[in-house]
Amino acid sequence: GTTVLPGTVTSYGVPGGSPQLIGSLTTSVSTGGPHNISVKYGGDANYAPSTATLSVVALYPTTVSATVNPQGIVYGASVTVTATINTTNKSPSMTGSVAFYSSYSGNLTSGITQTSNTDSSGNTQIVAAVSYKPQNNDSIEVVYSGDTNYANSAQYTSVQVTTPDFSISSPPVVLITAGQTGTTTLTITPASNLSSTVMLACAGNLPMGSTCTITPSSVNLANGMAGTAVVSITSIGPSPAAMVVA
């Protein structure tokens, strides 16, 4: 069936050139989705009636509610971002997709879950979530794509990341005989009681042919207690004596 749209049509003629009659109508529709609108001119004593059809898409509005749990973490921990896409309509059910964008890590695509259900009032909604490990203080944008009945929407949320500080004792000088291995111990002392993991690796200018290892390669700090790691450096063997032939 057809429905006459509410509102008042305003029309006016355009002087000069070919005769024109322009009409406009500001109105609203009560349902979402695509709508075909027919425009009819009734004609007059000189001009015949005519009809034109145009298509418009009316979208129900949506809102995004986004939360991060936990809101603040120590570096290395995971957080879960949960987004709820809400509307005030019971049907049709919302479709479309939810995307998560980290200002530091980019598009978060791994492990996203998304379900469609209803809220306590029976309105259709979408709940989506993703877990990841923020590398720094981060802002996350949640974007709902929309569908043929519901408009797109977006919302920002954020997470605070604390990076615990620490200090490393200066190791003593190690004298190594050619071809032998020398060791020294590093002491890593946390600057707070926050738990953290310190990753260790050899760097710098080693003598040519020498190798360096640190055991363990990571030290877990907790409750203000220091940790230790052993540095082992193995030098290249001595050069063979030159042979002189008389």
Query: Bigger pLDDT: 225 or 245?
Result: 225
Nearest-CA neighbor of 23 among 41, 10, 37? Answer: 10
Given a cut of 70, whether residue 226 has pLDDT beyond it is: yes
Whether the predicted pLDDT of 224 surpasses 90? no
Contact between 198 and 166 under an 8 Å Cβ cutoff? The reply is yes
- The stretch 228-238 carries a mean pLDDT of 90
Q: Which of 38, 41, 47 is nearest to 3 (CA)?
A: 38
> Phi/psi class of residue 94: alpha, beta or left (left: φ > 0; alpha: ψ in -120 to 50)?
beta
Report the 10 Å Cβ neighbour count for 156. 12
What does the buried/exposed string (b/e) look like for 206-236 if buried means 16 or more CB atoms within 10 Å of the residue's CB? eeeebeeebeeeebebeeeeebebebebbbe
| pLDDT over 90 (residue 178) | no
Give pLDDT, residue 243: 56
User: What band does 172 get if pLDDT is binned at 50, 70 and 90?
Assistant: confident
In this structure, are residues 97 and 113 in contact, taking their beta carbons and an 8 Å threshold?
A: no
Q: Which residue has the higher pLDDT, 3 or 133?
A: 133
